[in-house]
Amino acid sequence: MNPNLSRLQPYPFEKLRALFQGIEAPAGLKPIRLSIGEPQHTTPAFILQALADNLGGMATYPTTQGSDALREAIAGWLMRRYGLPAVDAGTQVLPVNGSREALFAFAQCVLDGSRPGAKVLSPNPFYQIYEGAALLAGAEAVFLNNTAGGERFGPNFDSVPESVWRDVQLVFVCSPGNPTGRVLSLDEWRDLFERSDRYGFVIAADECYSEIYFDEDAPPLGALQAAQQLGRSDFRNIVMFSSLSKRSNVPGMRSGFVAGDAAVLKNFLRYRTYHGCAMSPAVQAASVAAWNDEAHVLENRRLYREKFDRITPLLAPWLEVERPDAGFYLWARTPIADTEFARRLQAEYNVTVLPGSFLAREAAGINPGERYVRIALVAEPGECLEAAERIVAFCQKL
């Protein structure tokens, strides 16, 4: 067996199950699960119809590169969404089976196992796939704490020693961030791009929450958009990861894409050809329909905006919390230990939230997720409001 498997920590939801062991939630309160980032809004009917209309494609093997129609739809969306003057659908776009699968596989492709001491830089708190991808590729995961101090939950790249930067081969960036909802600024992207030029690492920009934001006139800045604005139109050493799961409420379709540096994607395509991870033709056709439509995304954002506008003011007097830049999580500071908060809330009010310490690792002497919980406002508005009222009732007892 790969000895690096033993280095993997239990997934956060495994830790949550262990934390809740022995709890008998109140029978009179229906369970409300706000722990997992699984969109629960209704899947648009036209996407389901496109999927059904193209089931005949199941009789053929799909290509790893995906159809021309899908890559062109994605390239068109990138140009519309980020104001990019040109995206080459043939060399700068590659469909993937959801961003999670691609983020994990990307590290196996990019990291040079022949160089001892390879490091992967990850935000902290973070999406656990980043750590697993680094470890199973034989690299060391290095964590950059994102705390409330300084630039609120932003990365302080200067805190990473020069000796570490020299060994970094891959940097994972999540913007909008999971769990903080923080969006990187143009200056922060500039800093990271300049360090990539200096040290030669590749940037993996996880942007799967990019389409859930609150001001229609100010969508989150993306990595390729920042590169274009800074004169890096070749997107050198930058690959962004996006998905339909959150944008279009189709997590079960497992449909996303990577886009950016053509030279990096050429090698990633070669890797994926051996990996055997081509997207189903029916899913490709449904994805074309989804990427070509924005009306359903506007409605999706309206629902999230309604929830945040109603729930954040309810919780703010009791928890340190404010609306994020983007995404569907509230990152709330708790008055007691995050694990105790989550366990007691489950036991007394049948509301499930995720302890922040499960989403982070100790680095520089702290676990930046401690005393926080992640609240995923993914359920329908009425259910989320009921959960918020129960959380307030719980906090009033503390």
pLDDT at 114 over 80: no
pLDDT band at 27 (very low <50, low <70, confident <90, very high): confident
- Same structural domain for residues 248 and 330? no
- Same structural domain for residues 286 and 322? no
- Same structural domain for residues 178 and 102? yes
Q: Domain containing 312 — which CATH number?
A: 3.90.1150.10
- Same structural domain for residues 240 and 344? no
In angstroms, rounded to a whole number, what is the distance separating the alpha carbons of residues 190 and 185?
Answer: 9
In angstroms, rounded to a whole number, what is the distance separating the alpha carbons of residues 150 and 153?
Answer: 8
- Same structural domain for residues 35 and 53? no
How many domains does the chain divide into? Answer: 2
pTM, two decimals, is 0.97
Determine contact, residues 155/188, Cβ cutoff 8 Å.
yes
- Same structural domain for residues 89 and 160? yes
**Among 270, 293, 316, which residue terminates a domain?**
293
Tell me which residue of 394, 356, 361, 389 sits closest to 375, measured CA to CA.
356
Least confident of 56-60, 138-142, 290-294, 329-333: 56-60
Per-residue model confidence (pLDDT) at position 312:
98
pLDDT at 326 over 80: yes
- Same structural domain for residues 155 and 111? yes
pLDDT band at 46 (very low <50, low <70, confident <90, very high): very high
- Same structural domain for residues 33 and 101? no
Q: Chain centroid to CA 195: how far?
A: 23
In angstroms, rounded to a whole number, what is the distance separating the alpha carbons of residues 278 and 367?
Answer: 38
Digit-coded pLDDT (tens) for 171-186: 999 999 999 999 999 9
- Same structural domain for residues 383 and 284? no
Digit-coded pLDDT (tens) for 293-311: 999 999 999 999 999 999 9
* pLDDT, mean of residues 375-390: 97
- Same structural domain for residues 199 and 143? yes
In angstroms, rounded to a whole number, what is the distance separating the alpha carbons of residues 5 and 278?
Answer: 25
**Among 240, 261, 293, which residue terminates a domain?**
293
**Among 244, 262, 293, which residue terminates a domain?**
293
- Same structural domain for residues 174 and 231? yes
pLDDT band at 115 (very low <50, low <70, confident <90, very high): confident
Determine contact, residues 278/62, Cβ cutoff 8 Å.
yes
Helix (H) / strand (E) element for 355: namely strand 354-355
In angstroms, rounded to a whole number, what is the distance separating the alpha carbons of residues 393 and 398?
Answer: 9
In angstroms, rounded to a whole number, what is the distance separating the alpha carbons of residues 10 and 357?
Answer: 13
Q: Domain containing 74 — which CATH number?
A: 3.40.640.10
* pLDDT, mean of residues 193-219: 98
Provide the residue range defining the domain that includes 28: 3-42+296-397
- 3 state DSSP class of 293: coil
pLDDT band at 116 (very low <50, low <70, confident <90, very high): confident
Give the C-alpha distances (Å, rounded to integers) separating 182 from 119, 221, 234, 252, 269.
24, 11, 26, 26, 30
Give the C-alpha distances (Å, rounded to integers) separating 235 from 15, 68, 97.
38, 21, 23
- Same structural domain for residues 136 and 249? yes
Per-residue model confidence (pLDDT) at position 113:
73
pLDDT at 276 over 90: no
